[in-house]
Amino acid sequence: MQNFYEATASRPTYPELVGKLDTDVCIIGGGLAGLCTAIGLIERGVRDVTLIESERVGSGASGRNGGFVFGGYSLDNAELLRKLGREEARHLYGLTIQAVEHIRSRIKQYEIDCDIVDRGVLLANWFDDPSRLERLRSMMDRDFGVEWQQVSQGALRKQLNTPRYHGGLFEPNAFHIHPLKYVLGLAKAVVDGGANIFEQSPACSIERSGQDFVIRTSKALLKAKHVVFAGGAYARGVTPRIERSVLPIATYVIVTEPLGAGLSEVINAQFAIYDTRFAFDYYRALSDTRVLWGGRISIFNRKPETIARLLHRDLVRVYPQLENVRIDYAWGGLMSYASHKMPQIGRDADGVWHALAFGGHGLAPTSVAGETIAEAIAEGEAMPKGFAAFGLTRAFGFVGLAAAQLIYTGYQLRDGIMSYRGSAR
């Protein structure tokens, strides 16, 4: 089965880097973190930028995720508050709200056709416990200055025809997009702005050379004043100190056949949806009446046929009326995840900038990374101090992956117990 995004986007080809090249900034990684850094530098007048990608631009998690654009990080906002305190937590969260607007404005500025649906995101309450939503709504208003709108169970049922949900919270300043089209549009803006992009050019090593860096690929040698490592889950053997801080975790997505007029009988809403479980589903209706459905995380990068079977089962659990719907697309892939659930944005002891570990909530935080690193390189701005609390914590390889799988399975069990208790009341 194909990846829906790849099947519905038109890809340009960028050349492979061969020979020697001097550049002001070398960015390793052609996902959103790398591209947002590149466009952020260009917008600040730094145009001598070279981005190298080991495969194709957007071939990793940036080009195949759920397409949700909304505030926050993978780490729960309450945990962010407990870790940093109100002032710094509010500041870091505020950066993601700014990033939502950056993405919205860049789509308009660079005329990126990425199927934007600017109709918000809804958090649906899986559990029959209204206090869960009220505590969250109050905290977001009080501590983060964000107003999420409460939606009653009855009102929600008119839009999402399922008995699974017990109301929800609506975030109006949010939207969803075709992420690969956005990535490719951003790449075009980077090249139009004077920077270079090279595909099929995997970085092999980064070494210091006086005040500069030498970056070797399989067929080229670059010399740069600054290096930004944004390789995500797939980069290995380039800068071990940074790479060992992330876990490559698999996640899965399916897309149904077109449902036609039947879509509105199931999902009569243009907003994107996710739910209050730790192991949540996320989904949205597409313009051609398909449903895109994502969920699960795993250490296993499964085959499309297995993914289709697993996620179809999850889909039918919420919408049993779609039991006989055909799955036209199914795919999975790796995303980079840190043990503390926050992105790793900063500069290591060797002077290499890094932007990675965006798994679980990536589109806005990748823009945050690009803006903050571009400001630091171009304008000498200090990095937000809150990110230092979530540094390059070692993930311990296979042991860390096994632990992550056990934790996820444990949370699935907890979700099931809480759901049972709610239905038994």
Q: H-type helices in 244-338, by residue range?
A: 304-318
CB of 319 closer than 8 Å to CB of 266: yes
pLDDT, position 230: 95
The answer as to whether 42 is a domain residue is yes
The answer as to whether 12 is a domain residue is yes
Q: Are strands 203-209 and 212-217 parallel, antiparallel or unpaired?
A: antiparallel
How high is the mean pLDDT in each 10-residue block of the chain (425 residues)?
Answer: 92 97 98 98 98 96 95 95 97 98 98 98 95 95 96 97 97 98 98 98 95 96 97 83 83 96 97 92 97 85 91 97 97 88 93 92 93 97 93 60 49 55 51
pLDDT, position 410: 53
Structure token pair of residue 263: 């879509």
CATH number of the domain residue 101 falls in: 3.50.50.60
The answer as to whether 196 is a domain residue is yes
The phi and psi torsions of 247 (rounded to 5 degrees) equal -110, 130
* Residue in 175, 182, 245, 174 with CA at minimum distance from that of residue 36: 182
The answer as to whether 98 is a domain residue is yes
Which residue, chain included where needed, has tokens 């949540």? 280
The answer as to whether 321 is a domain residue is no
Q: How many domains does one find in the chain?
A: 1
CB of 114 closer than 8 Å to CB of 177: yes
The answer as to whether 149 is a domain residue is no
The answer as to whether 202 is a domain residue is yes
DSSP 10: P
The answer as to whether 170 is a domain residue is no
Structure token pair of residue 26: 């070398």
Compute the CA torsion angle 36, 38, 40, 42 (nearest 10 deg): -150
Structure token pair of residue 328: 């036209």
Q: Which residues pair with 194 in a beta bridge?
A: none
- Which domain, by its residues, includes 36? 1-115+176-238+339-394
What's the predicted TM-score (pTM) here? 0.93
